[in-house]
Homo-oligomer: A and B are copies of this chain.
Amino acid sequence: MILDRVNSPIDLRQLNSAELETLAEEMRELIIKKVNVTGGHFGPNLGIVETTIAMHYVFDAPNDKFIFDVSHQCYPHKMITGRKEGFINPEMYLKYTGYTAPEEGEYDLFKVGHTSTSVSLACGVAKARDLRGEKYNVVALIGDGSLSGGEALEGLDNGATLGTNFIVIVNDNDQSIAENHGGLYDNLKFLRDTDGKAECNFFKALGYDYYLVKEGNNIEALIKTFNKVKDINHPVVVHVCTQKGKGFKLAEENREAFHWILPGALNEKSGDVYGDGEGYTSITNDFILKKAKEDKRIIVINAGTPGVFGWNKTFREQLGEQYTDVGIAEEHACAYASALAKSGAKPIWAVMSSFVQRTYDQLSQDLCLNCSPLTMLVHWGGISSADATHLCTFDIPLIKNIPNMVYLSPTYKEEYMAMLNWSVVQNERPVAIRVPNIELTSKGEEDNTDYSVLNKYKVMQEGENVAILGVGNFYPLAEQTAELLKTKLGIKATIINPRFLTGVDKELMESLKSNHKLVITLEDGLLDGGFGEMISRFYGCSDMKVLNYGSLKEFTDRTSLDELHTRYRLKPELIVEDIKKVIL
């Protein structure tokens, strides 16, 4: 393999044109093989191989600084910068994270996983260089999908005025995760169609110098242009047109399905990540389609990640005008949804837990201050073995502490359906629902609760001495703990399903004082600022003891769920041990 001879970027310069091309093919094959085993970002990495080779050929990393956006396209970079074993040797496949990671070496400046950050970060790197009187190239690589995020646009606006070496490579593969959305993308197309010669140029309007590399998978063309901008003394955008999924025919044809794939997906010859069978995703989407058909005011919104919610093409086409993907633009998604609600539409907006924090000001100001009646569906919330950049443990503290918001956490199918139904029908307030991130369970009977009566918890089992509040995903854990408590200590615990995360059921909590010594809260998320602390505060000046369970304040990084559950004592036997210490 040519790759055998590449141990660091400098080795690329020993290769001739043909060898560089072969290298690209080798790298692509390794990516296909590896990602089919581990899962991961597929299409974006296949498309960016040549760009990465040319970047490392022309610039002098790590002296020159590369800042990768969102890291969807950092695999080739990792292969060239001393981490190829993670792609060659199946036993090493999991050694390196799928994102840029400074702990893996000096070629990665930042730990990045949320989109739209590279240009802003690169501004800081360039400014620090100038303040310190140093000389090197600062190069941000941003995919077209990330361009529409507020942070990217703010960064582009500011970067244009740096008056110094500042190179932004825009990887335009004409595709975000799903299709692109926004006027910006029409301009990218216009620039492609006019060979970059059009004067009406988004980047030039901001003040950037501009180059187009139309054949963005041609290493020689890339090297030629990168050589032109190397050591440039002002901000420049290099617009590189690449083929997403290049080298894997199915991925070239179906760019959305192959953006990120599950292990083994290529064997099935379909990158489709949408699962089959009944689950909280499928019942949500059945509900949405039914409601949307009945009521033309229903409108379904997300920001560039329809796959997370199982919103495939068929689903989107069925909704037609009642569906908006705003692209990667979470702030806009929230404000847009709020205004729709205020103007007589019925928005249902879905967001992945990890991305709630991308639109905090809008949640507070545009949505809750205006008390707009919409439904916000929070998906994937809970402790997980995810990469540090994609943790989903922060949504409860983020959402529950905003005035006017109602945050619901259902525990089984019929309850979830009743909450959804209520939320969509009511006209009073914003309602967020934490879509359960566990296997679907059904009780087989309708839930007739009137959820407009806020903060009413539900007693599922009457007991005494110990009361266990099992929130959402952790309701089954509450039941298991109660069972073990019965077996081990002979205590029949009261089991409570709080349902409402945003307030205390004072009456019920007061009533527990008469025959309970200990209240336990179980929540699948961060303890700090969460549901449990609210309960602890409530009982602060009473004799009731309280134990809060949830995750600690830390960025875990691909730590196994079992290890985390043990660390946080989220297992029936560990909880019963703790209970013993407190009440015996």
Residues of A whose CB lies within 8 Å of any CB of B are 65, 67, 102, 109-114, 117, 120-125, 127-132, 148-151, 153-161, 181-184, 186-187, 198-202, 204-208, 296-297, 299, 321-322, 324, 326-327, 329, 331-332, 335-345, 347, 355, 357-358, 360-362, 364-366, 368-370, 388-389, 394, 397-398, 400-404, 518, 526-530, 532-534, 536-537, 539-542, 545-548, 553-555, 582
Contact = CB atoms under 8 A, between A and B. Distances in A.
B161 A187 contact: no
Contact of A536 (B151, B327, B389, B533): B533
A155 B335 CA distance: 9
A187 B161 CA distance: 12
Tally of this chain's copies: 2
Contacts of A369: 111, 388-389, 555
A541 B397 CA distance: 22
A102 B205 CA distance: 37
Contacts of A123: 332, 335-336, 339
Contacts of A340: 124-125, 127-128, 131
Given A127-B299, A131-B321, A397-B529, 16 more contacts: A109-B342, A110-B342, A110-B366, A114-B361, A120-B362, A124-B338, A131-B297, A131-B299, A132-B344, A158-B329, A158-B332, A160-B186, A358-B360, A360-B361, A403-B554, A541-B546
B182 A160 contact: yes
Residue among A153, A206, A299, A342 with max Cβ neighbours from chain B (10 Å) = A153
15 contacts: A117-B366, A123-B335, A128-B297, A128-B299, A130-B321, A131-B296, A131-B297, A132-B297, A156-B183, A161-B181, A201-B205, A202-B205, A369-B388, A369-B389, A401-B526
Contacts of A402: 553
Q: Which 6 A-B pairs have the closest CB atoms?
A: A150-B150, A124-B339, A160-B183, A529-B529, A128-B343, A183-B207
Residue among A121, A150, A369, A402 with max Cβ neighbours from chain B (10 Å) = A150
A122 B527 CA distance: 37
A526 B403 CA distance: 10
A428 to B, nearest CB: 15
Contacts of A530: 529
A582 B539 CA distance: 12
A150 B115 CA distance: 13
A542 B343 CA distance: 51
Given A150-B150, A202-B202, A335 B124 contact: yes
Nearest to A203: B205
Residue among A149, A201, A401, A547 with max Cβ neighbours from chain B (10 Å) = A401
A537 B532 contact: yes
A306 to B, nearest CB: 16
Contacts of A582: 541
